[in-house]
Structure 1
Amino acid sequence: MNDKRVFLIVLDSFGIGAEPDADLFGDVGSNTLGTIVTSDRYDTPNMRKLGLFNIEGVTCGKRTEHPLGSFARMQEASMAKDTTAGHWEIAGLVSEKPFPTYPHGFPKEVLDAFSKATGRGVLCNKPYSGTDVIRDYGEEHMRTGDYIVYTSADSVFQIAAHEEIVPLDELYDACRKAREILQGEHGVGRVIARPFIGKAPEFKRTPHRHDFSLIPPKDTMLDCLSGAGLATIGVGKIYDIFAGKGISETKSTESNQNGMEITAQWQNASFSGLCFVNLVDFDMLYGHRNDIDGYAGAATEFDRWLGGFLDGMRENDILMITADHGCDPGTPSTDHSREYTPLLVCGKHVKKGVSLGTRKSFADIAATILDIFQVEGTIAGTSFLKEIEARDGE
């Protein structure tokens, strides 16, 4: 049918328990969902009805006897726990080699090339919390005009600058130059612009963040779908994560709430294809800041919105809800965590109550989406469409 639509919503960092190799990442015992359900701000009846607490291996929360969707526990095949690798794998591209990380800062040759290209010096150059780094280096940045360059446990080159010192266009241009430098051996997953405003000690990051990712080295489901003439709509940082490759339309967001509003607008629009959504606040505002109540509140807010979205689904719509990694706000670490992720699938032509067990790759999502649209593509993953597709009378 030419009116099929898939809404794929990524709850950024919504992990559901440590993967078997979590010890290799320093994440033994991490469980984002297990942590946030302990907050009195957590209340997600709609996700529960879809089968969230029926997923294999989930021991928190209350199972439902009659789930309204199909569900699975997703295991990451890529040796990573970052946003880029997670989303690429969801889209059918497994990263065989992890992106480089810099626990001791970036090498001199990288920073020298960056300073030469931008005409500004560099401050910090070590792993840092995004809010702490502007608190500790913001005044020196304003005095010198040097960029604040920092990283994390993820493969990122982050550039912070005050909007009154470095105009946004100049900051974004600096990121593009950094992206050109950071290739090959130093090909980090993302270069991220981190603008901020205000006066010390009350500096505040703005919503003008922008990510500059590597171009995916192989085709993803987005290329396959767009090549078949179907819509591939990115909401939030999807366009950035894929460097625009395979995306037909895009809309950036300023918050989870804004992302949900835009997704609802697309639900009311006419298109055939995929609407791929990232809701980043879970990770950016709460996971990385170890804010359990804030994370729980964001989950509750999403669930309230989800109720209305479910009511508005059309005959041939399919909704998939998943995540790209974990970021347990209850552990001492403020970094991402190596966790399984949930998958909830529902629609009028999706069987209810089907447990897909534990899938060996996020890429099974991509393979299934191509199967839904009957599009061929050389991507990773195994389709589970036949297991969840409801026939007439089922």
Structure 2
Amino acid sequence: MPRRVIIIVLDSVGIGEMPDAVKYGDVGSYTLGNIAHQRGGLKLPHLQKLGIGNINSITGVPATPNPLGNYGKMAERSLGKDTTTGHWEMAGVILERALPTFPKGFPKEFIDSYEQAIGRNVMGNEVASGTEIIQRLGEEHVRTGKPIVYTSADSVFQVAAHEEIIPLPELMRICQIARDMLTEELQVGRVIARPFLGKPGNFYRTTNRHDFALEPPHKILLEYIKERGLEVSTVGKIKDIYAGRGVTSSVLTKGNMDGVNKILEFMSKTEKGLIMANLVDFDMLYGHRNDVEGYGKALEEFDERLPEIIQELRSEDMLVITADHGCDPTHPGSDHTREYVPLLVLGPNLSRGVNLGVRSTFADLGATVAEYLNTEPLLNGKSFYEEIGNTGG
């Protein structure tokens, strides 16, 4: 039977500070554990059965004696704690230099050049929440036609515009110009078009977001899989993060639960290859907004849906649940946090209960997937497939 791998990235669900967290101001960060502690516990019975409580101590989620999954955690070898950096490393790319962030906004010299290039003045140029900044500056934007430029803790250059003031094709044009101009020390991971609609006091972002991603510097896991004639189906922002490289089909999502629905849809029709999903609400709606209760509920909601995914696993499937970085809502500020990420691996014909330990790089996951799907080996990472074996032949 053809093999499939399903990777679910729980965006920002870190599992404890890394040894170099002090360099990032992230000492004490532990997204999953601190949320559980502050809420007086989490109810994650299905993740618990897979072994998430065996990785680190989590209030309300104790270790289980005979977990159904294999468990461990992964360290990020690349510098940084960015969405792009984490996903790239899973796919075999290790960055020696962190993608730049701009906590004080972009340099005036760049903004001046950008305004000249797009033929418009801009407003904003600050670190901000995307939903907050359109409420605060949206009315002036509608009046003046100035695009709203902002950034975040991530390596991003974001442009928000009302669709009736700056039509989508024009917004995409000026974002592409930004992508082309942001080079060298300004080379951000993503330029993001953030269209919105509505009236003053009630502006809302639409689903027409588009990411203009930096191209990975060399071949990635998804391309190796596609070259083998296998399917590479992505859910959420995965396609944009990898600049479309290696992707054969993709769908966007409207929240975590819609993401789970899309994963199940791909599982029902994908015969062989990779299904990779990012569930972004943990990070976007709760981590960056320091919403401990919302984050906890979102984790419990995902856990409730997990049996539906497990039930759809075929005999030669491998399910991986992991994350790309931390974003501890109990930690000062609203930045990502430099943390290990959980690693849970399950498959009907795989071993159970194997402690995979602390992997030295996220690329170990990519190397394992490459071996499991019989592609060429990646440039980075050490496969742990031999450790979990294949008991089904």
**1:76: which partner in 2?**
76
Instruction: Tell me if structure 2 keeps the 8 A contact 1:5–1:271.
Output: yes
Partners of 2:208 and 2:317 in 1: CA distance? 32
Matches for 1:1-394 after TM superposition, within 5 Å: 1=1, 3-37=2-36, 38-39=38-39, 42-55=42-55, 57-60=56-59, 61-392=61-392
Partners of 2:159 and 2:315 in 1: CA distance? 45
* Cα deviation code 1:351-388 (max 9, x no counterpart): 11111111110000000001101211342100000001
Instruction: Tell me if structure 2 keeps the 8 A contact 1:71–1:353.
Output: yes
Q: Deviating runs (4+, > 6 A) in structure 1?
A: none
255 and 41 in structure 1: CA distance in 2 versus 1, 3 angstrom threshold: farther
* Cα deviation code 1:306-359 (max 9, x no counterpart): 111111211111100000001111123111111110010001121111111111
1:392 Cα offset (Å): 4.9
Partners of 1:301 and 1:112 in 2: CA distance? 45
Q: TM-score, normalised by structure 2?
A: 0.95
* Cα deviation code 1:283-315 (max 9, x no counterpart): 111111111111111111111111111112111
Partners of 1:158 and 1:392 in 2: CA distance? 48
Report the secondary structure of 2:105's partner residue.
Answer: coil
Gaps in structure 1 of 5+ consecutive residues: none
* Cα deviation code 1:261-286 (max 9, x no counterpart): 11101111142100011111111111
Report the secondary structure of 2:171's partner residue.
Answer: helix
68 and 205 in structure 1: CA distance in 2 versus 1, 3 angstrom threshold: same
Instruction: Tell me if structure 2 keeps the 8 A contact 1:75–1:358.
Output: yes
Q: TM-score, normalised by structure 1?
A: 0.95
Q: Which is worse superposed, 365-374 or 177-186?
A: 177-186
Report the secondary structure of 1:294's partner residue.
Answer: helix
Instruction: Tell me if structure 1 keeps the 8 A contact 2:222–2:232.
Output: yes
Partners of 2:294 and 2:13 in 1: CA distance? 13
Q: Identity over the aligned pairs, expressed in percent?
A: 50
Report the secondary structure of 2:250's partner residue.
Answer: strand
Partners of 2:250 and 2:216 in 1: CA distance? 17
Task: Read off the aligned partner of 2:219 and give its amino acid letter.
Answer: D
Report the secondary structure of 2:232's partner residue.
Answer: strand
CA RMSD of aligned residues (A): 1.6
Report the secondary structure of 1:198's partner residue.
Answer: strand
Partners of 2:368 and 2:342 in 1: CA distance? 16
Report the secondary structure of 2:202's partner residue.
Answer: coil
Gaps in structure 2 of 5+ consecutive residues: none
Instruction: Tell me if structure 1 keeps the 8 A contact 2:287–2:329.
Output: yes
